[in-house]
């Protein structure tokens, strides 16, 4: 049986969410075969037990990756992608969930009929610490590489389906933390990105999430680190757009730091922003 879509689910200590995540993937109605590849990164709660129970209940649908030692988020993310067998790969991390049983069908139908696109996403709602926020369709729904660089908003991970063949993993990819954004940049080199108007997924923002833990200086450092490597990888083809992105990155993070009166962050960001015209990627050395 040729798998058409592999759904990559990485999880760690998400016992209160993982069942909902899996239930909504299992509920997908498609005309093609799918698989669910679950990578539990040595959870210390009941997450792994729940995943094993689902595997026993759906042995032909679910494949488990159960490493014996904690790999870390990016290593687990990459290993799970590499384990996927489908023509297309979708994401739904263990604390996110889907809301439309036809999500995969709609996205695969689009990609099948539009070979010049490498990735298809959708509008995603947000559950922000228990408060539901309705997602909005951006004005621009077809994105080139330059568009992906310049956007100040993000495509939510749980909304993504991409062509497996469109994503080549460079050596530096495993050293970043913004794996989803890095994937969007890299797949955009092989085709345009499409955002469908249907709200079909929910991104859960909570205190246990990785993005919640990154402070303004660290956010700026890690994003600049990614953009530096992408700039080198593409032989500076998009250098102007990338440096404009870095400029806005400083502006946005400084604004955030000022809103929350983060004095040390303001001082550091202001200093590196002063040096930015001469050394735009210098702050990458402050990542932690």
Question: What is the DSSP secondary structure assignment for residue 99, as one 8-state letter?
Answer: -
Is the pLDDT confidence value at 210 over 90?
A: no
Q: What is the CA radius of gyration of the chain?
A: 19
Q: In angstroms, rounded to a whole number, what is the distance separating the alpha carbons of residues 56 and 39?
A: 15
158 and 245 both lie in a single domain? no
pLDDT of residue 27: 98
pLDDT of residue 129: 87
Determine contact, residues 149/228, Cβ cutoff 8 Å. no
Determine contact, residues 269/262, Cβ cutoff 8 Å. no
Confidence of residue 1 (pLDDT cuts 50, 70, 90): confident
180 and 218 both lie in a single domain? no
Average pLDDT on 25-33 reads 98
Q: Tokens 């246990």 belong to which residue?
A: 208
Q: What is this structure's pTM?
A: 0.95
Q: Which residue(s) pair with 202 in the sheet?
A: 97, 125
Q: Give pLDDT tens digits for 69-118.
A: 999 999 999 999 999 999 999 999 999 999 999 999 999 999 999 999 99
pLDDT of residue 154: 85
Is the pLDDT confidence value at 208 over 70?
A: no
152 and 236 both lie in a single domain? no
Work out the burial of residue 39: count CB atoms within 10 Å of its CB; fewer than 13 is exposed, 13-18 middle, 19 or more buried: buried
Average pLDDT on 57-64 reads 98
pLDDT of residue 207: 66
Looking at residue 24, which CATH number applies to its domain? Answer: 3.90.550.10
233 and 92 both lie in a single domain? no
150: CB partners within 8 A, 6+ apart: 241, 244, 245
Domain assignment of residue 238, given as a range: 214-286
Question: What is the DSSP secondary structure assignment for residue 252, as one 8-state letter?
Answer: H
Q: Tokens 């749980």 belong to which residue?
A: 158
Determine contact, residues 286/222, Cβ cutoff 8 Å. no
Is the pLDDT confidence value at 214 over 70?
A: no
Is the pLDDT confidence value at 209 over 80?
A: no
pLDDT of residue 211: 46
34 and 89 both lie in a single domain? yes
195 and 262 both lie in a single domain? no
pLDDT of residue 29: 98
Q: In angstroms, rounded to a whole number, what is the distance separating the alpha carbons of residues 184 and 160?
A: 9
- Average pLDDT, rounded, for the chain: 96
47 and 185 both lie in a single domain? yes
**What's the token pair of residue 78?**
């990459």
pLDDT of residue 213: 52
Give the HSE-up count for residue 95: Cα atoms under 13 Å, Cβ half-sphere: 18
Determine contact, residues 145/95, Cβ cutoff 8 Å. no
Q: Which of 158, 176, 208 is the last residue of a domain?
A: 208
21 and 161 both lie in a single domain? yes
Work out how many domains the chain is built from and give that number.
2
Rounded percentage of the chain residues whose pLDDT exceeds 70: 97
42 and 113 both lie in a single domain? yes
109 and 218 both lie in a single domain? no
32: CB partners within 8 A, 6+ apart: 4, 5, 108
């Amino acid at each position: 049986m040729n798998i058409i879509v592999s759904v990559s689910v990485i999880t760690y200590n998400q016992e209160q969410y993982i069942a909902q995540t899996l239930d909504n993937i299992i509920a997908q109605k498609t005309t093609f075969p799918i698989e669910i590849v679950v990578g539990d990164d040595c959870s210390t709660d009941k997450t792994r037990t729940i995943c094993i129970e689902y595997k026993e209940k759906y042995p032909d649908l679910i494949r488990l990756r159960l490493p014996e030692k904690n790999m870390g988020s990016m290593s687990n993310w990459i290993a799970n992608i590499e384990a996927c067998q489908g023509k297309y790969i979708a994401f739904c991390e263990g604390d996110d969930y889907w809301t439309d049983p036809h999500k995969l069908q709609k996205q695969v139908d689009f990609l099948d009929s539009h070979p010049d696109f490498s990735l298809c996403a959708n509008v995603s709602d947000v559950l922000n610490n228990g408060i539901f926020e309705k997602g909005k369709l951006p004005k621009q729904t077809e994105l080139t590489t330059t568009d992906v660089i310049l956007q100040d908003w993000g495509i939510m991970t749980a909304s993504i389906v991409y062509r497996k063949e469109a994503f080549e993993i460079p050596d530096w990819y495993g050293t970043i933390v913004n794996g989803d954004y890095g994937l969007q940049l890299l797949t955009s080199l092989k085709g345009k990105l499409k955002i469908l108007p249907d709200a079909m997924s929910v991104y859960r923002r909570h205190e246990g999430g990785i993005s919640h833990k990154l402070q303004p200086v660290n956010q700026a450092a890690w994003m600049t680190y990614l953009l530096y490597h992408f700039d080198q990888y593409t032989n500076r083809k998009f250098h102007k757009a990338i440096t404009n992105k870095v400029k806005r990155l400083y502006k946005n993070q400084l604004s955030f730091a000022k809103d929350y009166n983060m004095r040390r962050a303001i001082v550091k960001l202001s200093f590196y922003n002063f040096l930015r015209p001469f050394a735009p990627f210098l702050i990458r050395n402050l990542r932690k």
